[in-house]
Structure 1
């Protein structure tokens, strides 16, 4: 099975596969500092704990090896500032992947999420048979939706969704980028 790179260097930004227990103290701290920022949009925040973060990290290597989920620490200036992933959900076709991301509030507004998503698009299209990549978010989460818009994704559809986090509207917006569209992106579009 072809797998994405485990370390992606992007100038001052690095995406790297999580390093199990070694990342636990720093990741837990970053989540703790980001709780109020993430709570409106991330359902998992409601159950955040040291045990849940430990379990999350413990499962990363197995999910990577299976090809179901490639999760990275987002590292800026040598510190973890968030996480991102290239995912295959239960309802995701074999020829597609979904991109997800979150950032510590101090890392927002600096192009980090956009550069991260662009790198994940590149990794997705290195996988055999991947025809498109999607970003799924609540339409009210304008900041999250700005990332795929900047990268040339097109609004694919909206559909009802269970409200799992406080600010969610009960709908999700799905953005899609095909392999052909991705070939037309330039470095300028990813900034």
Structure 2
């Protein structure tokens, strides 16, 4: 695996692609994606309450600078030329860790896309020399989000009370999953 200082801006995933945001030229498709996903996201995403055309423009306006600084690597998930979701990784509490998040348009759920997109991000993030572990956090009540880290080999490391409970459907308990950087094989032989 090649070591890089920034992830690729486009990650091919077979029938869909992860790509960095294209500034304001992505406004119309991003706004439509969010608008069509509001009811699906509202139970789990606190930012939905602040969603507006202005907040979408602000998100797109800062995406490039956050990418350049390494603070947030935010990807659009596109299939057949249409946006179907978003995924991101951002700096964690410790400098060697990053947190990950993902969501899909309701019509794109149940197809393994979120799991495959997250797996692609995991592989990409471990090409960065300063990333030693990745974390996924979700509300305890969000079974769909819990399935992804479980499928990808993350280990549950913590349950903590959110302050305040972030979403109306949430339990107020955040579950934190962690995946450590794989140990490289010795002399080209995979570890058992």
Question: Is TM > 0.5 for Structure 1 vs Structure 2?
Answer: yes
Contact 1:152 / 1:181 at 8 angstroms: preserved in 2?
no
Name the SS for the 2:182 alignment partner: helix
Radius of gyration: which is bigger? 2
* Structure 1: segments with no counterpart, 5+ residues: 184-191
Q: Aligned ranges for residues 4-153 of structure 1 at < 5 Å?
A: 4-89=7-92, 92-153=93-154
C-alpha distance in 1, partners of 2:112/2:102?
13
Name the SS for the 2:99 alignment partner: strand
Runs of 4+ off more than 4 Å: none
How much is the aligned-residue C-alpha RMSD, in angstroms? Answer: 1.5
C-alpha distance in 2, partners of 1:88/1:81?
24
C-alpha distance in 2, partners of 1:136/1:123?
19
**Counterpart residue number, 2:170:** 168
TM-score relative to the length of structure 2: 0.91
C-alpha distance in 1, partners of 2:149/2:77?
18
Q: Between Structure 1 and Structure 2, how many residues are aligned?
A: 181
C-alpha distance in 2, partners of 1:30/1:173?
27
How much does 1:54 deviate? 0.3
**Residues 84-134 of structure 1 deviation map (CA, whole Å, 9 limit, x = unaligned):** 101114xx2111111100110000000000001001101111111211100
TM-score relative to the length of structure 1: 0.91
